[in-house]
Structure 1
Amino acid sequence: MENQAVSWKKVFIIAGAFCAFWIGSGVATGQEALQYAASNGAFKGIATTTLYSLFLIFMVYILYGVGQREQFDNPYDVFEYYCGKYVGQIYIWFSVVLTYGIYVVMLAGSGAAIHQYYGISANIGTYFVAILALATAVLGIAKLLDIIGVIGPVKILFLSIIGIAALSTLAENPGILVVNSELIQSAGFESVSSNWIWSAVLWALLGLIFGIAFFIINGQTCQSVKEARIASILGVCGVFVVNTLLIISEVVYLDTIRDQQVPTLAIAKVVAPFLAMIFAPILILCIYSAVASLLLVVTRKFAVDKTKKFNLTAIGLTVVGMFAGTLLPFAKLVNIMYPLSGYAAIALMGFIIYKEFINKNAFPYKASGGASVQNNAK
């Protein structure tokens, strides 16, 4: 692997694309960090995001590499590759349905953010982001990665500003972190689990089901396994920094985020009104890039991008999603959809570990051309 070609420009584009995809409405609004980590207090929360990031590095390291090495005709073929024909088909369709559900969750997040800051109807906000994401998805995967690869670092920068403001407040009043860490646990926020280790496991596995096809697509665009894996690790590191700062921010500004659908936007308004003016469109940009990625990933199950069938399918999925995203409050959608994805991924992780580390010849995969493909590690 040492001699494999690495384009650092490509590495940063793919890492940025990972961040843009991963920092969707759940992360950008602060709901994900709140429900998985901050709701258990700052110290347990930071431990949660640390363990979560280590799990995530393990997963993307494998999957980006497999995507580059195997070059699947359809990214969803990775399920048959790891689980065999029959179990793989179950996971394929579960992944498609769940990914589409997450797409709807993120559309709801966009409507909540637009309504909270601009006062515009949440429905109108949802429709606007849905149409913008559709227009991007039909451009194809190559163009999408170029666009969101630039958006990813912008997301990290602006979310980090909120965290830095929280650190400044913390420096002036160090005891607030300890006090609020106790208070936040009984503040009535939605929480995935009171056990921080279990929260970390579910948080990491959340991304395995709905993110696996995107990981494969990203890996396929790299010119070597080494390049793909470096990009994936760098992307996770960016997400780790953002989550750590968000957890500290939400605990420090506990009183500010009470009864708020979008905690990060509420904090930005307190930190500096001018910052909120800048942050609101950035937040919407965060959500839009993730929504466009999810829409493309789901549509790729049914058609190759940049074809008439792809465009018609994407339009149909968008029309259904933009209306479904207005049915339930955003926080409630996150609490329903995200843990479900984590629980479903536990068995899948077992299949991946089995084939990668115990029996590399398990579940021989037949590509569309009929050739049997084995896991010939590089």
Structure 2
Amino acid sequence: MGKRNAFKIASIYIGTLIGAGFASGQETMRFFTRYGIRGIYGVIVTAILFAVIGIVILLKVYEDKIISYYDWIVPFFGPYVGKLIEIFLAFLLLSLYCVMLAGSGALFEQQFGYRKEIGIIFMSVISFITFLFSMRGLAVINSVLVPLLIIGIIAVGIIVIPDKIHNICDVDLFPYTIGDNWITSCLLYVSYNSICAVMVLSSMYPLLNNKRIAIAGGSLGGFLLGIMLLFLFLPTLILYRDIQAVEIPMMTIAFSIGKNMGNIYGALLWFAMLTTAVSNGFVFIQSMERKLKLKHLYACISFCIVTIPLAQFGFKRLVHTLYPMFGYIGIILIFLIIFRKGKTQ
């Protein structure tokens, strides 16, 4: 049971962070590939930081019996400011879910030739079914889809790396300065993602039977995220000149292998959006139930109905508007994780 719960936690951790930006290769290009071969140092440091942050969050969740991200916020900021920040974080959860719905619509429209509304509604229906089973549904869908994502990303890398290694591009578009280098880039990347990690892992208390599970779940999640990041980094570095201007680099790389691989990777990208959507949506629904005293079924129905029209704003517009805010909030939350206790006893 312990090993199984550690794997479930690691899968949820990975599924939360491996959204459209990660699986598409766009985040890897932005934060690592542009520094050339030195970007691999950033990949290694990022994997270590993800493991450490995951372990620290889960240990505090276990020791302080934290059941939601609200238990982090109020002790740190106080009841009044804490409530305002809780509302803002809830807005971010809602936004991230809508971004993934919009991404599903864009993928269905651009890659598979269907109307974007079909993609939005399809993901909404699958998410609704997952939400109905609460933590069990979240654990099952991540435990099934995350291994497929890991295998798919590694498979593309294994095919591309040996075949194209002679084309490796030691990209060094930016000088090594204090303000812009692989060190600051990987730190910003981790802080950018930490906000989601805090909010989702704060709900993992039911799966934490002891400290060993917390340590195993955090370290396994960080290690596997690092492996996936490595197999995104190397192909994008090798083929950088061919993909630097495209919106979904890994999709272009997959199609360079063959049409079937491209279609398979398109499905994997959708799975990545789904795991991120259900993780963020699950935490938001938990907050709705607590604040509004709603029954679980009514909270799930209300959430899924309201978010469908919000996703119509479009994937690109939502990403460009909302994502820049996340890194700054993430930096605050890292300090919150490391230096403060969770729920007051």
Confirm whether residue 170 of structure 1 aligns to residue 164 of structure 2: yes
After superposition, the Cα gap between the structure-2 partners of 1:313 and 1:261, relative to the gap in structure 1 and judged at 3 Å, is farther
146-155 vs 232-241, which moves further: 146-155
Alignment counterpart, residue 248 of structure 1, candidates 234, 257, 264: 234
Q: Residue 97 in 1 paired to residue 83 in 2?
A: no
Tell me the secondary structure at the aligned position of residue 217 of structure 1.
coil
Aligned CA RMSD, in angstroms, stands at 2.7
2:284 matched to 1:285? no
Give SS of 1:301's match. Answer: helix
Q: TM-score, normalised by structure 2?
A: 0.88
Gaps of 5+ in 1: 1-5, 186-192, 357-363, 367-372, 374-378
1:355 is matched with 340
CA drift at 1:235:
0.8
Instruction: Please identify, of 286-295 and 106-115, the stretch whose mean Cα deviation from structure 2 is larger.
Output: 106-115
Matched, 1:346 2:331: yes
The higher-RCO structure (CA 8 Å, 6+ apart) is 2
Q: Aligned partners of 1:201, 1:312: CA distance in 2, in Å?
A: 40
User: Which residue does 1:32 correspond to in 2?
Assistant: 27
What amino acid is the match of 2:184?
W
> Distance between the aligned counterparts of 2:232 and 2:320, measured in 1?
18
The equivalent of 1:58 in structure 2 is: 52
Q: Find runs of 4+ consecutive structure 1 residues off by over 4 angstroms.
A: none
Partners of 1:9 and 1:352 in 2: CA distance: 25
- Asked if 1:233 corresponds to 2:225, the answer is no
Q: After alignment, is 222-231 or 54-63 more displaced?
A: 54-63
Question: Displacement, 1:97?
Answer: 1.0
| Alpha-carbon distance in structure 2 between the residues aligned to 1:352 and 1:182 | 34
* Cα separation, partners in 2 of 1:107 and 1:32, compared to 1, 3 Å: farther
Contact 1:82 1:88 in 2 (8 A): yes
Counterpart in the other structure of 1:153: 147
2-side partners of 1:322 and 1:33: how far apart?
29
Pairing of 1:84-233 with structure 2 (within 5 A): 84-171=78-165, 173=166, 175-178=167-170, 181-182=171-172, 194-233=180-219
Residue 264 of structure 1 and its aligned partner are, at CA, apart by: 1.8
Q: How many residues align?
A: 341
Pick which of 19-28 and 310-319 moved more.
Answer: 310-319
Query: Aligned partners of 2:333, 2:82: CA distance in 1, in Å?
Result: 9
Is contact 2:51–2:220 with CA below 8 Å preserved after alignment?
no
CA 1:352–1:85 in 2, change beyond 3 Å: closer, same or farther? Answer: farther
Displacement of 1:365 in angstroms is 4.3
CA distance in 1, matches of 2:241, 2:127: 34
Residue equivalent to 1:7: 2
2:71 is aligned to 77
Match of residue 320, structure 1, among 282, 302, 306: 306
Give the 3-state SS of the residue equivalent to 1:118 in structure 2.
coil
The answer (yes or no) to whether the contact 1:111–1:121 under 8 Å persists in 2 is yes
Q: How far apart are 1:308 and its partner, in Å?
A: 5.7
Worse-superposed segment, 320-329 or 270-279:
320-329
Report deviation, 1:62. Answer: 1.1
Structure that is richer in helix per residue:
2
Cα distance, 1:259 vs. partner? 4.7
Q: Provide closer, same or farther for how the CA distance between residues 324 and 34 of structure 1 changes in structure 2, counting only shifts above 3 A.
A: farther
The match for 1:3 is none
Contact 1:69 1:220 (8 Å CA) reproduced:
no
* Contact in 2 for aligned 1:71/1:220 (Cα 8 Å): no
Residue identity opposite 2:280 in structure 1: L
Unpaired runs of at least 5, structure 2: none
State which drifts further: 44-53 or 26-35: 44-53
In 2, Cα distance between the equivalents of 1:114 and 1:258? 23
Q: Give the whole-Å Cα distance in 2 for the aligned partners of 1:43 and 1:220.
A: 42
Q: CA deviation at 1:255?
A: 4.8
Return the offset for 1:292: 1.2
2:325 aligned partner, one-letter code: L
Structure 1 equivalent of residue 36 of structure 2: 42
How far, CA to CA, are the matches of 1:101 and 1:223 in structure 2? 32
Alignment check: 8 A CA contact 2:55 2:215 kept: yes
User: Normalising by structure 1, what TM-score?
Assistant: 0.81
| Partner Cα separation in structure 2 for residue 36 and residue 321 of structure 1 | 30
Q: Is residue 2:329 matched to residue 1:310?
A: no
